Amino acid sequence: MAQKKSILTAYPDYEVVIGIEVHVQLTTKSKIFCSCKNTPEAEPNSNICQICTGQPGVLPVLNEQVIAYAVQAALATNSAITPLSFFDRKHYFYPDLPKGYQITQQYLPICEHGHVPIRLEDGSTKNIRLRRIHIEEDAGKNTHVKGSGESLVDLNRAGTPLLEVVTEPDIRSADQARAYLKMLRAIVQYLGICTGNMQEGAFRADTNISVRKKGTSELGTKCELKNINSFKYIADAIEHEIERQILLVASGKQVKQETRLWDNKQKITIPMRSKEEAADYRYFRDPDLPGIQITNDYIATIKNRMPELPYEKFDRYISSFGLSAYEADIIVEDLERAKYFEKAYALRPSKNIVNWFLRDVLGYTNEHNIFLKDFLITPEKLVSIITLLENGTVNNSGARIIFDTIAQNGGNPVTVVQEKGLQQVDSSDQLEEIAERIVKANPDVVANYKAGKDKLFGFFVGQMMKETGGKGNPHTIQTILKKLLDS
């Protein structure tokens, strides 16, 4: 993808260091420590109970599904699973956290030391190391009502399960950050443990950024960019922050450690708060919850349920389907895309399926903001259009008309061919007759063509297409014209 040049090209002595923390909202049926439904988007405060609202005298009970999901994430990222991990309390006071502490895993996370492979621009693969993945509960949601001075608290989200995935500071550019987030999102989506919907906050990334002179091993002072909820803005936001820091450091000033927000209107990052120290949270092990013991048998059961992962699909598309890395990258990025593409490709394994899917199906659905699952051209219909094209019933422009017609109004490709009279004219007799007529009617053009103006060949092709109402078989037309004009 063409991106604007990074500030780093103007400051070749500096490098950027990025580490990312992602909160992955898990799609379990119920919350993590109670049996309330895990549907944060429901009517405010409709899914709450004594446990998730932090009433005195209640005890949390761990939802096994959360552990299964965490182990899946661990396996998908090649992480080391901790045989016995624990929950800790992280204390802070905020109206959306009625207990006064969040249950998380500070000291012994469920897994550590994994990695996520990303593809670099030069085609090579880089493993972004994961420091840890831990389980925690989410807090509720405060809404500050504009103008009224009132704040509303919705606790539907309180006690819903999250995985926090934390990288080592291995990322070296905005593009790498984006590639990492796309791969991680695809992984959790393929596992079926998270919707991956960033707008709804189901996949939230905090990006830690610092800069330093190349060749130094010490890390520079970092700023944390909070919750950018769209891939469109992530690269912009990071690039802007890199620029701000390099200009500071290069002019001898210092970066202040703080949390910053991306303002998408002004296209700048703005300070939000200076960073708390870990000690502020007064972490200690939660005495209400037993340790989580994970046996090899349990891991083996989960292993059996693992689906094909995006990086595995990527390799298969290249080795078995002959796709380019660029093509495979776009398709595996999203599970719905991969499902649609594989269905169509299995029915008709042709390059036209790849091309029409990438250019036309993705082009149309992106432009019109349609989910692939709601697209009127199903994989079967795409196959039928490509079959009509490849067996010569219609030419390319005919296929395009069928595509647009069905994309807009639905319908059956074969019926559209009949209704719109799109059958390709490829009878040689008929085309020869037309060609002779055109050649006779344009002696000057013929003379110029024969005198060496090769480009005029296109004029005759154009006339033929006009005469056949765009339905002439281009290949037959070329052959006939060549014979007629070059003899």
For ligand ADP, the binding residues (CB under 6 A) are 17-21, 166-169, 208-210, 219-220, 222, 275, 278
Is 49 near Zn ion (CB under 5 A)?
yes
Task: Determine how many CB atoms are found less than 10 A away from the CB of residue 10.
Answer: 11
Return the structure tokens found at 104.
């998380």
Least Cβ distance, residue 275 to ligand ADP (angstroms): 6
Tell me how far, at minimum, the Cβ of 219 lies from Zn ion, in Å: 40
Q: How far is the CB of 97 from Zn ion (least distance, A)?
A: 14
Q: Yes or no: say if 11 and 250 are a contact pair by the CB < 8 Å rule.
A: yes
Judged by CB under 5 A, the residue of 16, 20, 26, 34 near Zn ion is 34
209 contacts Zn ion (rule: CB under 5 A):
no
Residues 471/424, Cβ–Cβ less than 8 Å: yes
What CA–CA distances, in Å, run from 244 to 237, 241, 251, 265, 380? 11, 5, 11, 17, 50
SS3 (DSSP) at 231: helix
Q: Identify which of residues 18 and 74 has a Cβ nearer to ligand ADP in the complex.
A: 18
Q: How far apart are the first and last CA of the chain?
A: 47
| Residue 36 is a binding residue for Zn ion (CB under 5 A) | yes
Least Cβ distance, residue 330 to ligand ADP (angstroms):
27
Residue 147 carries which side chain, given as an amino acid letter? G
Q: What is the closest distance, in whole angstroms, from the C-beta atom of residue 155 to Zn ion in the complex? A: 8
Interface stretch with Zn ion, choices 50-58, 191-199, 235-243, 269-277 (CB under 5 A): 50-58
Paired strand residues for 126: 118
Asked whether the CA dihedral 478, 481, 484, 487 is positive or negative, the reply is: negative
Cβ distance to Zn ion smaller for residue 154 or 334: 154
For ligand ADP, the closer CB: 19 or 413: 19
Q: What is d(CA 195, CA 139) in angstroms, rounded to the nearest whole number?
A: 19
The DSSP result for 168-215, as a single string, is -S-B-SHHHHHHHHHHHHHHHHHHTS----TTTTSEEEEEEEEEEETT
187 binds Zn ion (CB under 5 A): no
Smallest separation, CB 229 to ligand ADP (Å) = 19
Options 42-50, 71-79, 141-149, 249-257: segment touching Zn ion (CB under 5 A): 42-50
Stretch that binds Zn ion, among 16-24, 46-54, 63-71, 282-290 (CB under 5 A): 46-54
In the list Zn ion, ligand ADP, none, the entry touching 472 (Cβ below 5 to 8 angstroms by class) is none
Q: Which of residues 149-178 bind Zn ion (CB under 5 A)?
A: none
Task: Identify any residues that bridge with 23 across adjacent strands, giving them in sequence order.
Answer: 164, 204
Residue 261 within binding range of Zn ion, rule CB under 5 A: no
Which CB atom, from 21 or from 432, has the smaller least distance to ligand ADP?
21
The whole-angstrom separation of Cα 203 and Cα 23 is 6
Binding site for Zn ion (CB under 5 A): 34, 36, 49, 51-52
